[in-house]
């Protein structure tokens, strides 16, 4: 049972973007209104989210 949960979780992480990237993209687009910046911040994901929180 435990092995199955690990495999399913690994597949979910491998497929699609993570929560940190989605959050960074949403924050970035709301703040800057720029798709380019949203993509760049999505790549940095949690680093940008932490930066945003610390500088607000």
Q: Where are the domains of the chain?
A: 18-56
Q: What is the pTM of this model?
A: 0.70
Q: List pLDDT tens digits, range 1-42.
A: 555 554 555 554 555 678 899 999 999 999 999 999 999 999
Work out the burial of residue 24: count CB atoms within 10 Å of its CB; fewer than 13 is exposed, 13-18 middle, 19 or more buried: buried
3-state SS of the chain: helix, strand, coil percent to 5? Answer: 85, 0, 15
């Amino acid at each position: 049972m435990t092995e199955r949960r690990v495999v399913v979780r690994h597949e979910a992480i491998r497929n699609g973007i993570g929560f940190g990237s989605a959050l960074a993209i949403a924050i970035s687009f709301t703040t800057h209104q720029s798709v380019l910046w949203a993509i760049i911040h999505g790549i940095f994901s949690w680093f940008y989210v932490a930066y945003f929180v610390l500088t607000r």
